[in-house]
């Protein structure tokens, strides 16, 4: 998906160069001379990033975006010698300041940071592999998808993964958190409004349905949507048209809907808080994300990723997690899931000073040690056993047997007699198996040696 960049300011030579650099990096650039014109562009088309000339009222832009509930980053740019203006822009709410004349690498880094937006999708655990495989199978279709799971499990990240593997990947991916917006404003956020439709509607504004045209609309925490709006949403899905608030004619839309919920929507249907017909319209494909505590291999992969990310962000040396820290991470309940793990690793990176991130650096926000299961060792053993069991599913008995025999032989440094005793088989049976593997081209260690790959 191309980054949608809006540049606000007079396009002199330096801003023209900045625009050209951004387009060379794959951004779709729109220009507005003044603040009012820029806001009209955002109301009509939306954007992912705003770059504004520091000589314009940056604070007013930030305040206007907040007032109109447009959540997008603002970057100020100006002459490199104007240090006072740069400080003022950051204090006003700009996320970054780019000195002019523009540096291509810096503009590219800003665009890349916004495009990434913490959307890295990492998984290793077989429990997640099953979900991801199903997601990728249906990504190319137009089917609506319902993603459920506890808060912080990565529902939005999975939705973006689906979008990136769909035929809509080069069109917008727009996300709206239904729980974060009051009911009386959510209708306008979804469907847009005409000028004068209600108090404060000073100009026409498109809603998320129109902003996502051709692409994907993610409705986060859809279970919190008011039943009256559920009816309007159902019509939009069935008829592919929406009505702006205060509008006089339907507006056609072409989007794919992905919805998320941390509640059981089937139960919400039973208790009458969610429409049954909308539930079935959304639940064409159901992707259920397991909790992080049920994905031990993901805990370690994500912990390593976050450790590298925050070491780089804070200019600190990369420190791997110690064996004890890894054990603690796998044993922790992670009720906040990936979000809680990320925060814990961020703190640990800042607190660590040795060669590794030690277990005592993994703390809760109040400085206490991480909570673990009541019986730490038993819980860890159970999780490890579960992970090992899941890793065997889908493999043949012969494949598992071969790995077991060769790994045991490695452990015994090639000693056939010792390996046979551990495996509970005769030395003759072991030799026959090893001859069979050698004939198939598999490396078998000689006595006193390990396999080259070990």
Exposure class string for 273-284: b at 16+ Cβ within 10 A, else e: bbbeebbebbbe
pLDDT higher than 60, residue 6: yes
pLDDT given at position 375: 47
What digits encode the pLDDT tens for the residues 385-415?
555 555 566 678 888 889 889 888 877 778 8
SS3 at position 84: helix
pLDDT higher than 70, residue 450: no
pLDDT given at position 50: 92
How far apart, in whole angstroms, are the C-alpha atoms of residue 265 and residue 288? 12
pLDDT given at position 198: 79
Exposure class string for 194-210: b at 16+ Cβ within 10 A, else e: eeebeeeeeebbbbbbb
What digits encode the pLDDT tens for the residues 68-99?
878 788 999 887 667 788 888 888 888 888 88
Q: What percent of the chain has pLDDT over 90?
A: 39
CATH numeric code, 126-288? 3.40.50.300
Cβ contacts of 316 within 8 Å, gap of 6 or more? 310, 349, 350
> Does the domain spanning 292-376 belong to CATH 2.60.40.420?
no
Count CB atoms within 10 A of the CB of residue 249. 7
Count CB atoms within 10 A of the CB of residue 356. 16
Cβ contacts of 123 within 8 Å, gap of 6 or more? 129, 132, 295, 298, 301
How far apart, in whole angstroms, are the C-alpha atoms of residue 252 and residue 360? 57
End-to-end CA distance of the chain: 42
Alpha helices in 154-225 (DSSP H): 155-164, 183-191, 208-211
Whether 339 and 378 have beta carbons less than 8 Å apart is answered as no
Please provide the average confidence, as pLDDT, over all residues in the chain: 85
How far apart, in whole angstroms, are the C-alpha atoms of residue 98 and residue 110? 9
Compute the average pLDDT of residues 169-174: 89
Per-domain residue ranges of the chain: 4-116, 126-288, 292-376, 395-439
The number of residues in the chain equals 454
CATH numeric code, 4-116? 3.40.50.2300
Long-range contacts (CB closer than 8 Å, 24 or more residues apart) made by 102-105: 102/14, 102/17, 102/18, 102/21, 102/77, 104/21, 104/24
What digits encode the pLDDT tens for the residues 26-57?
788 899 989 999 999 888 888 888 999 888 99
What digits encode the pLDDT tens for the residues 120-167?
678 888 889 899 999 999 999 999 999 999 999 999 999 999 998 899
Cβ contacts of 179 within 8 Å, gap of 6 or more? 220, 221, 224
pLDDT given at position 453: 39
Dihedrals phi, psi of 93, to nearest 5 degrees = 120, 0
> Does the domain spanning 395-439 belong to CATH 1.10.10.60?
yes
Cβ contacts of 324 within 8 Å, gap of 6 or more? 358, 359
Alpha helices in 170-295 (DSSP H): 183-191, 208-211, 227-239, 265-270, 276-282
What digits encode the pLDDT tens for the residues 92-131?
888 888 888 877 888 887 877 776 654 567 888 888 989 9
Cross-strand partners of 369: 363
Is the fold of 126-288 the same as that of 292-376? no
């Amino acid at each position: 998906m191309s980054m949608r960049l809006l540049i606000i300011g007079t396009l002199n030579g330096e801003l023209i160069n900045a625009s050209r650099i951004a387009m060379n990096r794959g951004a779709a650039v729109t220009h507005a001379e003044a603040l009012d014109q820029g806001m009209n562009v955002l109301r009509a088309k939306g954007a992912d990033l705003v770059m504004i000339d520091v000589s314009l009222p940056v604070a007013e832009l930030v305040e206007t975006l907040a007032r109109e509930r447009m959540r997008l980053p603002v970057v100020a740019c100006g002459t490199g010698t104007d240090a006072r203006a740069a400080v003022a822009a950051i204090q006003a709410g700009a996320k970054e300041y780019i000195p002019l004349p523009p540096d291509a690498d810096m503009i590219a880094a800003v665009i890349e940071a916004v495009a990434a937006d913490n959307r890295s999708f990492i998984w290793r655990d077989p429990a997640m592999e099953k979900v991801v495989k199903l997601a990728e199978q249906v990504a190319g279709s137009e089917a609506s998808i319902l993603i459920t799971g506890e808060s912080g499990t990565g529902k939005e990240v999975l939705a973006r993964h689906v979008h990136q593997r769909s035929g809509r990947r080069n069109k917008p991916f727009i996300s709206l958190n239904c729980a974060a917006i009051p009911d009386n404003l959510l209708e306008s956020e979804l469907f847009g409004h005409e000028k004068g439709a209600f108090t404060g509607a000073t100009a026409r504004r498109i809603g998320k349905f129109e902003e996502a045209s051709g692409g994907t609309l993610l409705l986060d925490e859809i279970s919190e949507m008011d039943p009256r709006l559920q009816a309007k949403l159902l019509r939009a899905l069935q008829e592919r048209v929406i009505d702006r608030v205060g509008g006089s004619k339907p507006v056609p839309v072409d989007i794919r809907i992905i919805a998320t919920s941390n509640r059981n929507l089937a139960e919400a249907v039973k208790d009458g808080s969610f429409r049954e017909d909308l539930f079935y319209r959304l639940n064409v494909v159901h992707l259920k994300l397991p909790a992080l505590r049920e994905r031990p291999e993901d805990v370690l992969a994500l912990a390593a990723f976050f450790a590298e990310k925050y070491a780089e962000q804070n200019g600190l040396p990369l420190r791997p997690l110690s064996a004890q820290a890894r054990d603690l991470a796998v044993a922790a309940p992670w009720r906040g899931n990936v979000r809680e793990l990320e925060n814990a690793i961020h703190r640990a990176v800042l607190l660590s000073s040795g060669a590794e991130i030690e277990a005592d650096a993994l703390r809760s926000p109040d400085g206490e040690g991480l909570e673990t299961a009541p019986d730490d060792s038993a819980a860890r053993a159970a999780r490890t056993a579960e992970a090992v069991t899941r890793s065997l599913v889908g493999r043949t008995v012969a494949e598992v047997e071969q790995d077991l025999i060769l790994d045991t032989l490695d452990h015994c440094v090639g000693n056939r007699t010792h390996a046979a005793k551990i495996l509970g088989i005769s030395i003759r049976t072991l030799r026959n198996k090893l001859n069979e593997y050698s004939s198939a081209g598999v490396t078998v260690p000689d006595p006193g040696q390990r396999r080259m790959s070990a």
